[in-house]
Structure 1
Amino acid sequence: MTLRLKQGAAATRVLGIGSTQPDRVVTNDDLSKIMDTNDQWIRDRVGIIERRFADKDELLVDMAVKAGTSALADAGVQPSEVDTVIVPNCTMPSPIPNAAAQVADRLGIKRAGAFDLNAACAGFCYALGVASDLIRAGSSGKVLVIGAEKLTDWVDPVDRANAIIFADGAGAAVVGPAEEPGIGPVAWGSAGDLVDTIYTRDHRYLTQEGQSVFRWATTQIAPIALKALELAGLQPSDVDVLVPHQANLRIVDAIAKKLRVNGAREDMVVADDIKYSGNTSSASIPMALDHMRAKGSVKAGDIVLAIGFGAGLSYAGQAFICP
């Protein structure tokens, strides 16, 4: 007996994006009132000017629903058309139940395949790669990917090394079939020997060895970005928009500089959403792109190079066409 396989789409593309952030704005001056820090110290080290913190009763799932609603509207896709929901995150209050099934139900996406994906700050790029492959394999028709994080639940509020960096929010993308490729192959991997550089202390507080992570990211991530371009058959000069995970503005600048040394254009737009959003882990890439598009600095049809990296250590990236 021969098993039968489904026929998937020839290619995939991002159909729409959306994002949401909490209303509460927290400035560097606000943080200086509760810990030994100041505005200039924070700007010099990580580039953040302000970030958004969710209220206690605003849950990760709540933000994921808002971002998913926005992305579906942008894509012109009805919930009934979506059959799979993936929620990359690393900050649910408990591992069970997952976020995805709750989000799918609240969005009116019934009987969907629904799962969370934990690759920390690389989560969105991991999930985008999985979504694209599910559609091409015939396992899914349209997939909603929502990177959502409530990092303030997992950060010691007076830890000056980490509380200044992390924030809350959600960013989403709808992925669907296409006749021509709109999402390139994912370039991904991990460095499990460096697992102790980002971890949860006492199973309660997120902690990272900042200098170790900085050295790793500024030396190892640009080659992964170049690999993603190679897999997609693109040159660095083809990239219109670079959206690295918004971990640290100095890391973002270092990645952009290395790509330009390898042929990227001087007019390549580089995401700097961390200035006003902080580090939102798996939400940072779709949120940054959504904000850039709203400001008019990127447009439909632009070639986007996304690259995520974080705890694990995990990394992933791909090129795709901006919806």
Structure 2
Amino acid sequence: MNTTQESAVVTRVVAVAADASSPQPGSRIAGLGAYRPVTVVSNQAAAGAAGVGTAWIEQRVGIRERRHANAAESVVAMAVEAGKKALADAGAEADAVDVVILATCSMPSPMPNGAASVAAGLDCPAAAGFDVNAACSGFSHALAVADALVRAATARNVLVVASERMSDWVSAQDRDTGPIFADGAAAALVVAAERPEIFPIAWGSDGHQAGLITILPDTGHMEMAGRKVFRWTTSALMPAIHTACQRAGIDPRQLKAFVPHQANLRIISTLAEAIGVPGMITAIDVVTSGNTCAASVPLALHALRQSGQIHSGDPVLLFGFGAGLTYAAQVVLTP
């Protein structure tokens, strides 16, 4: 470490310590960013590899196309691009970031962690960096941690990035996973707020069923018991959704939008129908993005805001669920 870098570390530690004298009343998402890989994989290509028909894919999971990362689009590289866009959206500089949290389950190796490399790629001097692996509910887990860090005055600005290269972990020949999983990244900058705009999370896990989604050690590829996961998601998780609304102090009828993990169109539609809020917008990004695991919720949120269907201050319900089995529901206000 050279003298300039050492000075940056000292300056950042002193600045954060000075701000840690009192808790913050709340936190908010100040900016969103997204990165979608260049390569589009059609249903025709995915169906051919998996030995199924294009109609079978669309009818079963509702996906028409998905994005696969190329050699240059690593988990870290995509995270850096999404992070840059979130900072730009918030009008913030990289050197204002105290912590980088990377939500991912698709890093090629457990060491080094991805977040430190993302912080380096963004040129965030002295930012703490750590990864969160809660699979498809990872973004909401990381967002809850960021909210807690800011409200506790442990950090002032936390960049939460979800980035996945799921195409590395599935076999294109496996019809249960190959046509479904895809790649991408999205990010949110969390900052202090005068009132809460990220509300308390309702989360949990069912480790007794962890074997329903796993990586096989002999092949290194994902195996998923899709029907059992569908039944678990659509039957066991509604209480978490209602708890998240209660903790936010809002009636579900006040929700402007529902932003679930983009597992497949059938699950999304079933959950939205169960919530039963007339006029509530349901984010459907899976049709053109596939299942991007931890990145799917923020990618769908970003797309919904970009389309103009939701606006600043609108309450939306984020809902992630997946391998572990993990789940997380939380209400946030649209940045």
Same fold per TM (> 0.5)? yes
Q: Secondary structure at the match of 1:44?
A: helix
Q: Secondary structure at the match of 2:188?
A: strand
Partner of 1:317: 329
CA distance in 2, matches of 1:84, 1:322: 22
Q: Which runs of 5+ in 1 are unaligned?
A: none
Q: Which runs of 5+ in 2 are unaligned?
A: 1-19
1:35 to 34, 50, 56: 50
Deviation of the 1:31 alpha carbon = 1.5
Matches within 5 A, 1:212-227: 212-227=228-243
The one-letter amino acid paired with 2:80 is V
Partner of 1:170: 185
Q: Deviations over 1:151-171 (max 9, x none)?
A: 011111211110011000001
Partner of 1:287: 299
Question: Residue 6 of structure 1 contacts residue 137 of structure 1 at CA under 8 Å; is this kept in 2?
Answer: no
The one-letter amino acid paired with 1:103 is V
2:265 to 242, 249, 255: 249
Q: Secondary structure at the match of 2:266?
A: helix
CA distance in 1, matches of 2:266, 2:21: 46
Deviation of the 1:6 alpha carbon = 4.0
**1:211 matches 2:227:** yes
**1:101 matches 2:101:** no
CA distance in 1, matches of 2:124, 2:108: 23
CA distance in 2, matches of 1:258, 1:178: 32
CA distance in 2, matches of 1:91, 1:124: 14
Q: TM-score, normalised by structure 2?
A: 0.92
Question: Residue 221 of structure 1 contacts residue 255 of structure 1 at CA under 8 Å; is this kept in 2?
Answer: no
Partner of 2:312: 300
Deviation of the 1:38 alpha carbon = 1.5
Q: Secondary structure at the match of 1:34?
A: helix
The one-letter amino acid paired with 1:167 is A
Q: Deviations over 1:184-238 (max 9, x none)?
A: 0011100000010000012611111000100000112222111100111111111
CA distance in 1, matches of 2:71, 2:94: 28
CA distance in 2, matches of 1:298, 1:225: 20
CA distance in 2, matches of 1:132, 1:68: 17
Aligned residues: 315
CA distance in 2, matches of 1:149, 1:133: 24
Deviation of the 1:292 alpha carbon = 1.4
Deviation of the 1:267 alpha carbon = 1.1
Question: Residue 11 of structure 1 contacts residue 180 of structure 1 at CA under 8 Å; is this kept in 2?
Answer: yes
Q: Deviations over 1:133-165 (max 9, x none)?
A: 011111111100000000011111211110011
CA distance in 1, matches of 2:139, 2:290: 16
Question: Residue 64 of structure 1 contacts residue 171 of structure 1 at CA under 8 Å; is this kept in 2?
Answer: yes
Question: Residue 106 of structure 2 contacts residue 169 of structure 2 at CA under 8 Å; is this kept in 1?
Answer: yes
2:32 to 9, 17, 25: 17
The one-letter amino acid paired with 2:110 is P
**1:240 matches 2:256:** yes
What root-mean-square deviation, in Å, do the aligned CA atoms of Structure 1 and Structure 2 show?
1.0
**1:183 matches 2:195:** no
CA distance in 2, matches of 1:34, 1:255: 30
CA distance in 2, matches of 1:135, 1:164: 39
The one-letter amino acid paired with 2:26 is A
Question: Residue 50 of structure 2 contacts residue 179 of structure 2 at CA under 8 Å; is this kept in 1?
Answer: no
CA distance in 1, matches of 2:21, 2:221: 44
Deviation of the 1:113 alpha carbon = 1.0
**1:229 matches 2:241:** no
Q: Secondary structure at the match of 1:174?
A: strand
Question: Residue 64 of structure 2 contacts residue 288 of structure 2 at CA under 8 Å; is this kept in 1?
Answer: yes
